[in-house]
Amino acid sequence: MAPAHRHSAQAVRFIIEGHKTYSTVQGDKVYLERGDFLINPPGYWHDHGSEGDSPAMWLDGLDLPITNYLDASFFDHDESEVQEVTAVVDGSVMKYGIGQLRPAWEAPCKQYSPIFTYKWKTTEQALNNLAKVDASPFDDVALEYTNPHTGRPVMDTMTAWIQMIRPGIHTKAHRQVNSAVYYVHEGCGATIIDGIRFDWEKGDIFFIPCWVYHEHLNDSKDERAILFSIQDTPILVVLGKYREEELSSNRGHQLVKGVFDAETVMAHK
């Protein structure tokens, strides 16, 4: 169990495995499942625990580097360790989870999303629906988690994406001034980063640094790949520093200079 605490750092979480795992944010307790996405706005009390008999794992992303750089890091513990649950269990999901609708008597939540947990079932449905309509030439079927009341990213300094690379897709290359950390939620494929092919599969984590060309591919004929990512785009946008550029040569694809995969790693050990 993680006792109740709060901090000035902004945090997002992606559930890798979880059964009867829960997170309570500001008195709102939500049970978590594989593929769920959570947010912890700065200064919000939160605690985590498990009522199951198997381990739970998730990927955390916090804006600690800029928080520490600005000397604005604060952290508090709650003496009770576990918050009092003040709302119906899974209440925020039931109240706001559809996204396009909100209670008519409430004003929009403008600073942070009213949804603390974005459920995988709804996210997967949105990916499948988008795949039938449109896709990005650079990221294929990609969705950004947003505040449904404003359309803005869920955090001021970070954003998070979920994307599907469909079977047989090889996206075009582009580069951006933001950086991104990726987790492979499902399937296998590869990402070519600055001319080096990095093969990945379910459970892998990889990183794309700023201003390097990158493209994704799924060699499977019938299996999709699902990628979750945390990106620092919002802070660059608000500072007026965001920029991106597509690769214009070679029909939008990089020339592969090398391959980095499991066999390559073992060969260097």
- Write the pLDDT tens digit of every residue in 12-37: 999 999 888 999 999 999 999 999 99
pLDDT for the residue 262 = 56
Q: What is the C-alpha separation between 90 and 200, in angstroms, rounded?
A: 34
Q: What is the C-alpha separation between 17 and 88, in angstroms, rounded?
A: 24
pLDDT digits (tens, 9 = 90+) for 179-203: 999 999 999 999 999 999 999 999 9
Q: Is residue 161 predicted with pLDDT exceeding 70?
A: yes
Q: Is residue 140 predicted with pLDDT exceeding 80?
A: yes
The candidate with the shortest Cα–Cα distance to 153, out of 226, 236, 70, is: 236
In the DSSP assignment, the letter for residue 87 is S
pLDDT confidence tier of residue 2, bands split at 50, 70 and 90: confident
The candidate with the shortest Cα–Cα distance to 201, out of 253, 262, 140, is: 262
Mean per-residue pLDDT for 106-110? 90
Q: What is the C-alpha separation between 154 and 65, in angstroms, rounded?
A: 18
Mean per-residue pLDDT for 61-66? 94
pLDDT digits (tens, 9 = 90+) for 219-247: 999 999 999 999 999 999 999 999 999 99
Whether 117 contacts 37, CB under 8 Å: yes
Read off the amino acid at residue 68.
N
Read off the amino acid at residue 260.
F
Mean per-residue pLDDT for 133-145? 98
The candidate with the shortest Cα–Cα distance to 6, out of 47, 39, 37, 38, is: 47
Residue-by-residue DSSP string for 105-167: TS----SS-S-SEE-HHHHHHHHHHHHTT--BTTTBEEEE-B-TTT-SBSSSS-EEEEEEE-T
Mean per-residue pLDDT for 57-72? 94
Pairing verdict, β 28-32 and 21-25: antiparallel
pLDDT for the residue 237 = 97
